[in-house]
Amino acid sequence: MDMPAVAVTRSLPITNPESLVDVKIPVPTPGPNDLLVEVRAVSVNPIDVKLRNGAGTPETPLVLGFDAVGTVQAVGESVEGFSMGDEVWHSGDRTRPGSYARFTLIDHRVVAKRPRTLAAAQAAALPLTAITASEALREHMRLSGNDAFLMIGGAGGVGSIAIQIAKLLTEGPVVATASHDESADWCLKLGADAVIDHRRPLPEQTAEIGVEGFDGVLSPHTVGKVAELAEVMAPFGHLVTIDGLPDFDILAFKPKSLTVTSESMFTRTQFHTPDIAEQGRILTRVAELVDSGKVKSTMTTRLQGINAATLRKATEMVESGHMIGKVVVEADAW
């Protein structure tokens, strides 16, 4: 049996109608640990852009998509805690075909029941970015107490959820950077205590808001800012980067004994680490935070129809660099 999907057959600019195409591919068969999920909504992330641009001409159609909200349609023989008909969410697995399809196959250990208080589209905005932010702030930085936290690019997908999580972890100042009034207002609505302009030098603005140094910094835009970030950090602080850094001057971090971690939320699924189930637990915690009113969806745009044309439009929005929050694509009736 075949299913509809959206795939890359060759790397092309997203404005090209052939950059993402509608295809038919076989419905996957669950392995012992797998769930087969019928997709109701997905969101587009920068990793989708990166993989499409680097795809070249794949031997078989490359189905992108990571975030997914849907309904369990089949359960592997070793799966525990899930049943047919469960409403779930997950953030995908780079080693498998993605969620731009009617059905997606995923290891149950990285899946959780989705929030009851959100519609499918609203929920689809969160999994990948929530896991990224949780791993960065809880596991790497161990943000707590009165730690001061700085989010570079607070209005982006990761920033929008990281601000909310940071406010739950620390009593200290939670600060975000933004480049214009609309994105600054968004950060403040999510709970940021202050917003500074990432087009201006950070050290003088940090002093202006009365922060002596940041104990934790999360940055998806680190290139060209390494020395500046080191300057605004507190001794023994922790920088977590999401973007790749082709050149990195670690000497800027030595005087303050700073720690630097490069975060990838795909590590656990890519390398099948012993704690792979932690991602399912993270999503369970986030669902509880949503349902208790402590975390809100970061969806700002919803498009209808998981097809090539709609996903090209959504991807253009992400590639523009001006996206606030997340864009979500919801399925029509399959």
276 and 256 fall within a common domain: no
Q: What is the pLDDT of residue 26?
A: 97
| Domain end residue (candidates: 225, 247, 262) | 262
For residues 279 and 191, membership in a common domain is answered with no
The reply to whether 244 and 325 lie within a common domain is no
CATH code, domain with 236: 3.40.50.720
Encoded tokens for 179: 């480049």
Has residue 133 got a pLDDT over 90? yes
Instruction: Identify the pLDDT of residue 155.
Output: 98
Q: Are residues 141 and 258 in the same domain?
A: yes
Q: Please check whether residues 251 and 190 belong to one and the same domain.
A: yes
Could you give the angle at the alpha carbon of 280 between the alpha carbons of 278 and 285, nearest 5°? 90
Hey, what amino acid is at 115?
P
pLDDT for 248 beyond 90 = no
Query: Nearest 5 degrees, angle CA 100-CA 95-CA 105?
Result: 50
Confidence of residue 262 (pLDDT cuts 50, 70, 90): very high
pTM, whole model, 2 decimals?
0.96
Compute the distance between CA of residue 257 and CA of residue 251 in angstroms, rounded to an integer.
10
44 shares its domain with 26: yes
* Encoded amino acid at 200, one letter: R
The domain of 103 spans 2-126+268-330
What CATH number should be reported for the domain holding residue 18?
A: 3.90.180.10
How many distinct structural domains can be found in the chain?
A: 2
> Within this chain, do residues 146 and 186 fall inside the same structural domain, yes or no?
yes
**Residue that terminates a domain, selected from 227, 243, 262:** 262
The pLDDT-based confidence of 246 (bands split at 50, 70, 90) is confident
Residue-wise pLDDT tens digits, 201-211: 999 999 999 99
Same domain? For 248 and 283 the reply is no
Give the end of a domain, one of 242, 262, 282: 262
Torsion angles phi and psi, residue 124, rounded to 5: -65, -15
| Whether residues 53 and 152 fall in one domain | no
